[in-house]
Amino acid sequence: MWNSDEIDFAEAAQSHGTLVSCMLEYQAMLADRHLNEVLLGELVDQFVHSEQRLAEAHAAVLALSRTDGLTGIANRRWFDESLAHEFARALRSKTPIGLLLLDIDCFKLFNDNYGHAAGDDCLRKVAQAVRSVVKRPPDMTARYGGEEIVCLLPDTGLDGVFRVGNAVLDAVRALDIPHRFSKATDIVTVSIGGVSIIPAQDMTPTNIIEAADSHLYQSKEHGRNRLTMPSL
């Protein structure tokens, strides 16, 4: 028979073995928990990265849908949407909308004599020159159609439109693109019609475009290479 010392030793050994077993199980549990945390962290990182790539792809597609492929400025659709938005906002706040509508002088003669590739390059350079002037965050430069470019200038009165319009004239002249067939001068120039209008309830965004177009027509009739707008 075992004596009491032997029984105590056996019990102690058994308790020690149980404790070691519990410690090993606990370590295994901690290891599994750490592994799960690592895997979860990796999954979260992959998800965030995937979301970022998806957001970037969406932004790129959205930018392409709003950009004119030739000139790199906003397209007509994005301009129409922006004008409608700014018109509604100006109608509520009773603030002015400035607008410049410009046309490259004698552009058909430029295309006919220098070729369409040169014409496309000219249009790109003029568009970028205009955009370099119209650069406030709420402003927009867009290709309105053909060789016409439009500048949307929210919260801008007549004096502001006048300054921007003249800066556009200077920026295009500074390109110094030869145009021996122009009826205005011997370099590429633009004619501009400018307006600043506080929208009324009986008006539509089209009325602002029509008003600017009327002044653009006057610029062409009076020799081109100029800005025409209502008196300050």
Domain locations in the chain? 1-66, 76-228
Q: How confident is the model at residue 231 (pLDDT cuts 50, 70, 90)?
A: confident
Q: List alpha helices for 137-204, DSSP H.
A: 158-175
Q: Residue 96: CB partners within 8 Å, gap ≥ 6?
A: 90, 155, 156, 157, 196, 197, 198
Catalytic residue selected from 147, 148, 210, 221 = 147
Q: With respect to CATH, is domain 76-228 assigned 3.30.70.270?
A: yes
Q: CA 155, 126, 160 angle in degrees (round to 5)?
A: 20
Helix (H) or strand (E) holding 1: none
pLDDT in tens, 16-59: 567 667 676 767 676 777 766 665 566 557 656 666 665 555 44
Q: Could you report the per-residue pLDDT of 78-116, keeping only the tens digit for each?
A: 999 999 999 999 999 999 999 999 999 999 999 999 999
Backbone angles phi, psi at 107, to 5 degrees: -70, -30
The pLDDT value given to residue 30: 65
151 to 12, 13, 61, 163, 215: CA distances (angstroms): 90, 89, 23, 13, 14
More confident residue, 10 or 108: 108
As a dihedral over the C-alpha atoms of residue 45, residue 48, residue 50, residue 53, rounded to 10 degrees, the angle is -130
56 is a catalytic site residue: no
Residue 155: which residues within 8 A CB-CB, separation 6 or more?
A: 90, 95, 96, 97, 98, 138
Nearest to 133 by CA among 175, 87, 196: 175
